[in-house]
Amino acid sequence: MIQLLRVDHRLLHGQVAFSWTSAVSADCILVANDDVVVNDLRKTTIKLAQPSGVKLVMKSMKDAVEAINSGVTDKYKLLVVVESIKDAKMLVDQCPSVKSVNLGGTKATKETRQISKAMNVSTDEENMIKEMVDKGVEVEIRMVPTDKKVKAESVL
């Protein structure tokens, strides 16, 4: 069962690996990313952040969708981490069990505007967030579990 779906451009690092894993009592972390599964350097870096006693799985987006929908992940308290709002929207659109999205951090670019300390969104990403909210998905912004939940639609 998915405990948390988090968008974080850094994927798995100390903040996610420790504070979020313990906050949602996750026993398995699924990193869903098309590049990581073919990039040995990124794979190794992510493995270094794996918390002790927590299973770590890295899958392509397509394989992550299949795994979530097949029910094989149901036995875990699952923390899913994706790199982008686009990837989160893909999971929302293709996995009916995804009911909420945590926006943790995205990079600033020329095309983005800052909506929180660590969240930068383009116009397309704003539209994706609005579409997820319109589908009844909770989209909230929080870097760490102790931060106050901010509903994404309130800052768009």
SS3 1: coil
In the prediction, which pLDDT does 96 show? 96
Taking 90 as the threshold, does the pLDDT of residue 73 lie above it?
yes
Taking 80 as the threshold, does the pLDDT of residue 121 lie above it?
yes
Taking 90 as the threshold, does the pLDDT of residue 123 lie above it?
yes
The Cα–Cα gap between 46 and 49 comes to 5
Query: Do the beta carbons of residue 43 and residue 36 sit within 8 Å?
Result: yes
User: What is the CATH class of 2-154?
Assistant: alpha beta
Query: Do the beta carbons of residue 77 and residue 25 sit within 8 Å?
Result: yes
Query: Do the beta carbons of residue 31 and residue 59 sit within 8 Å?
Result: yes
- Percent pLDDT > 90 in the chain is 97
Taking 80 as the threshold, does the pLDDT of residue 15 lie above it?
no
Q: Which of 94, 77, 106, 82 minimizes the C-alpha distance to 132?
A: 94
For the whole model, what pTM was predicted? 0.96
**In the chain, where the domains are located:** 2-154
In the prediction, which pLDDT does 50 show? 95
Q: Which of 77, 33, 82, 31 minimizes the C-alpha distance to 53?
A: 77
